[in-house]
Chain A
Amino acid sequence: MAASPPQKINVSLDVNGETRNVAIRPADTLLFILREYLGLTGAKPGCLNGDCGACSVMVDHTVYKSCIMLAVEAVGSKVTTIEGLKDSPIQHAFIENFAFQCGYCTPGFIMNCHALLKNHPQPTYEVIKEWLSSNICRCTCYEEIQEAVMSVIEKRE
């Protein structure tokens, strides 16, 4: 095996309500740890550069691109991935409004929408745009995603 073993540290991550103990390299991104060590492959690698939003997850109440966050930075916080959403209105809305095709950007988009709707129960179009322009969907024309978000807002009224 390796002559100089990788310098790993043991950390405890709270992911989707479970405590997960894992040995990580400080250089590992949260995305890498979620996918490779915790088996949570819902967050997707799309650019590893913070550009596309496919890897978006929530850390406490904020949505982050997990490719530009170190796993070690999430210690002490509550991480929620798409696998941690259960029956949320936005998931249903995505299905009903055909807001995805290939589905690859979907977990990231849904997490961002979910965070948006948690933080802004009645967002204006400007706020929706501000938030959702953080993610790229290459299949839909975005109208379907807009309709999905709007349908959740309308049902709240």
Chain B
Amino acid sequence: MHIIGKGITRKDSLEKVTGHAKYTADFEIKGMLHARTVISPFGHALIKQLDLTEAQRIPGVRAIVTGDHLPLTGEELRDRPPIAVDRVRFNGEVVAIVVADTPYLAMRGVEAIKVQYEQLPVVNSPSEALKPDAPLLHPNMGQYEKIQGVYPEPGTNIATRTKIRKGDRTKGWAESEVVVEEKFAFRTSDHAAMETRCSIAQIHPGGTIEITSSSQAPFMIKKLIGQYFGIQPGTIKVNTPLVGGAYGGKASVQLEILAYLATRAVGGRIVKMMNTREEDMLTSPGHIGLEAQVKLGCTKEGTLKVAELLYLWDGGAYSDKSIDLSRAGAVDCTGPYNIENIWCDSLCMYTNHPYAAPFRGFSHSEVHFAFERTMDVLAKKLNMDPLELRYKNAILPGHTTPTQFRLNASTVGNVPKCIEKLKELMNWQEGQVTNLGQHKVRAKGIACTWKTSTIDPNASSGVILTYNPDGSINLISGVVEIGTGTKTVLAQILAEQLKMDIKDIHVQMHVDTVNTPEHWKTVASRGVYMAGRAVLAAAEDVISQLKSLASFILRAPIEDVEVGYGKVFLRGEPSKSIPIKDIAYGYTFPNGNSIGGQIIGRGHYMMPGITYLDKETGAGKPGPEWEVAAQGVEIELDTREYRYRILRAVTVVDVGKVLNEKTLTGQVKGAMSMGLSFAARETFYFDSLGTILNPQLRTYRPIRFGEHPKYEVAFVETPHVEAPFGARGAGEHGLLGMPAALGNSLSAALSAEVNYLPLIPELLWKIKGGER
């Protein structure tokens, strides 16, 4: 098949449109065993009896794994048994694994296992968890192992508390003439990547553990499984082929542990574990929920003076990544505004809900929903245009963040410019609400956003470049291709740097931790920045190797030779050159003497200057830069029945530099779509037993074709000087302001405060007093 269209589209295009692209579950070999899980149907219960006898008798069932004698796991706080022992703390928690010859025999085994439960009182929300008489989900919290920066509060359901203490709130309140206070809540939900998680594990005779997994974090699998089970990381090999959507959900290490336990139980034979959709929603970690209280004070003119915030995160039954999520929610606990006095407590709460993984935006769409809704409430009270209020308070170089980091023109994007552009694109001057008659109103809502990436201070990204005899290059990076097209962008960066045709760059799409240099995790919109810097370093390495060999062959000083267009040539006399293909594998003199060898470039990158946060004040530099955006939504609402359509959604984002416009636009629009879907329809529904009532895609409903609005995206370019070509992240920002902007448009249309998600017509009806 020929590629049609100018320039290179994605490097994985042809494979993906022909069905030949391989994802984890597509690997199947003879003799492979299959594992399935028994999961808890209840939110909180004691396991009174686990009867395996009938299942063990089924022909073809090879092993049944239960939770005894396993280490506790958890990325920051080790609170989670990989398989439940004695008690289950959420609907979906694994109680046993059945390993069998075929998927259907494993199913049969699961169906034959009988579990008797005894219900326990359920903690069904973070505010319930905070009550003094709430059931304690982790009475042994004080004994759990933890990493730096985790502050559990034993005797409570608080897994950690992050404090932001900036300025003096007393002074802030004293200076405030106008005050508003709002409360917000939404339950946990799901990523619903179309590929359910899948892991394949085996233990080779020499002891090497090989895991193939649909993951954003193959290197973390190696590290954590090593730590949990006391295995040298070098003996663990992880493969990650293409990943079928992730959105943060595949950054957690969960199914891999089970697959490892399954293979261990059958003497190391290869075992495949693929989540059903139900398991993917219930058992594997999902999207965090939040209850928030936001109190803002400002002057009569609308100058923000103080923010006081309480965030109660619904981290679920185990803390894993929700500790970090609650921390990130504190780091950017406000919108992108200059506020001198900030007091925030961000608490990671245990509940009897499925636990949380990162979700695209890492707590920011959640916090922004609460904060940016409150900004609109404040604007209303001030009788001020909400866009104007934001413009007036926009954070600028020279200001400090909630963590007291002083920004400059590189470390923060241009908020005022984004607002100006949004104003124009939204046709804002025509007014926020238009009454169309016939019970129909049109309304616009906006939100401003920012985000930094709170990733580990020592997170590293590496790239290896190897030459082929034809002068083409293999680009090997630890970034996982989860759909973002990052590896295609890396190829572009390399092509640009080496002044070569992108067709001559062969990108290794899969990751194999033995031969691929580490990229910490493919998260936080940091692939292009970190791996891009590693590419630049590797390109420099290759260039210097080519130059030194060529300078000798061309008989010119290194300073006078240049690399590009497939050649190394003299700067002053370009016709004197040598093709790269003639030296990429060393150089052979006419008489056969040879020197050099295959040229191999390497580069790596770590973000400089990142610090841990101060325990008492939160002060520190949590991330490399703050990307900003201004976003808007326009809806048409039927005021009689509260049904609405989203007409259009707009994002103006400061991306630093556009590297691949189509890919970038696709990322932003896709994120917007996910944000609207989350805001307008997605949630788990829990009953009083903590059982989730909608763990299928027919009852948990991501947005579908035809329900989508018109999307518009515009870019502002304020370079982040440390990043390749100044580019900022792209993967998450389209999502961040969508829930708030949609909430603001509906609040404007209804002249009522809409502070809950999802924004379904029934909620609007209730808010308008429909229930009575």
A residues adjacent to B (C-beta < 8 A) = 1-4, 25, 27-28, 32, 35-36, 40-52, 54, 81-83, 85-87, 91-92, 94-96, 98, 100-107, 110, 129-130, 132-133, 135-146
Contact = CB atoms under 8 A, between A and B. Distances in A.
A138 B247 contact: yes
15 contacts: A41-B19, A45-B196, A49-B698, A87-B1, A100-B17, A102-B245, A104-B244, A133-B707, A136-B704, A137-B705, A138-B193, A139-B483, A142-B673, A145-B705, A146-B705
B21 A103 contact: yes
B18 A102 contact: no
Given A46-B196, A51-B696, A103-B242, A135 B16 contact: no
Contacts of B705: 129, 132-133, 135, 137, 142, 145-146
A50 B698 CA distance: 9
Given A1-B60, A102-B193, 14 more contacts: A1-B59, A2-B101, A51-B277, A83-B18, A95-B10, A98-B9, A98-B665, A103-B483, A110-B17, A133-B706, A136-B192, A138-B245, A142-B673, A142-B703
Interface string B2-16: 011100011011111
Contacts of A137: 194, 705
8 closest residue pairs by CB, A with B? A42-B19, A104-B244, A102-B483, A82-B19, A103-B16, A101-B483, A129-B706, A141-B673
Grouping DSSP codes into helix (H, G, I), strand (E, B) and loop, the A interface class, with mixed when no group exceeds half, is: loop
A46 B277 contact: yes
Contacts of B708: 141-143
Contacts of B704: 133, 136, 142
B104 interface: yes
Nearest to B26: A41
B59 A3 contact: yes
Most-contacted residue by chain A among B1, B245, B247, B667 (CB, 10 A):
B245
B426 to A, nearest CB: 18
Nearest to A104: B244
A85 B20 CA distance: 12
B674 A138 contact: yes
A36 B22 CA distance: 14
Interface size range on B against A: 35 or more
Contact of A83 (B20, B485, B698): B20
B513 to A, nearest CB: 21
Contact of B194 (A4, A92, A102, A133): A102
Nearest to B713: A141
Contacts of B1: 86-87, 91-92
Most-contacted residue by chain A among B194, B246, B665 (CB, 10 A):
B194
B669 interface: yes
Contact of A49 (B5, B15, B22, B696): B696
A102 B277 CA distance: 18
Interface in B15-38: 15-23, 25-26, 28
A74 B703 CA distance: 31
A135 B702 CA distance: 10
Interface string B209-247: 000000000000000000000000000000000111111
A49 B192 CA distance: 14
B195 A44 contact: yes
A87 B17 CA distance: 10
Nearest to B32: A36
Contact of B670 (A47, A51, A54, A141): A141
Given A48-B276, A132-B705, A143-B711, A95 B4 contact: yes
Nearest to B676: A141
Contacts of B10: 95, 98
A87 to B, nearest CB: 5
Nearest to B12: A103
A36 B25 CA distance: 10
A100 B13 CA distance: 9
Contact of A46 (B191, B194, B670): B194
A86 B1 CA distance: 8
Contacts of B191: 138
Given A96-B5, A101-B484, A141-B708, A47 B26 contact: no
B17 A51 contact: no
B663 interface: yes
Contacts of B105: 2
B672 interface: yes
Given A95-B4, A129-B705, A138-B247, A107 B194 contact: no
Interface string B377-393: 00000000000000000
B17 A95 contact: yes
A76 B517 CA distance: 51
Contact of B696 (A41, A47, A87): A47
Most-contacted residue by chain B among A4, A81, A104 (CB, 10 A):
A104
A97 to B, nearest CB: 9
Contacts of A49: 277, 696-698
A47 B13 contact: no
B550 to A, nearest CB: 37
Contacts of B276: 48
A82 to B, nearest CB: 3
Contacts of B247: 138
Given A104-B194, A104-B244, A138-B702, A95 B5 contact: yes
Given A45-B25, A47-B277, A133-B704, A54 B194 contact: yes
A145 to B, nearest CB: 7
B530 interface: no
Nearest to A42: B19
Nearest to A143: B711
Contacts of A103: 12, 15-17, 21, 242, 244, 483
A51 B699 CA distance: 9
Interface string B659-699: 00011011101101110000000000000000000001110
Contacts of A50: 698
Contacts of A138: 191-194, 245, 247, 674, 702
A65 B710 CA distance: 29
A66 to B, nearest CB: 13
A94 B673 contact: no
A129 B192 CA distance: 22
Contacts of A44: 23, 25, 194-195, 244
B193 A52 contact: no
Nearest to B666: A98
Contacts of A105: 194, 244
B4 A96 contact: yes
A25 B673 CA distance: 41
Given A41-B26, A96-B5, A106 B16 contact: yes
A140 B666 contact: yes
Nearest to A41: B26
Most-contacted residue by chain B among A40, A47, A139 (CB, 10 A):
A139
B711 A52 contact: no
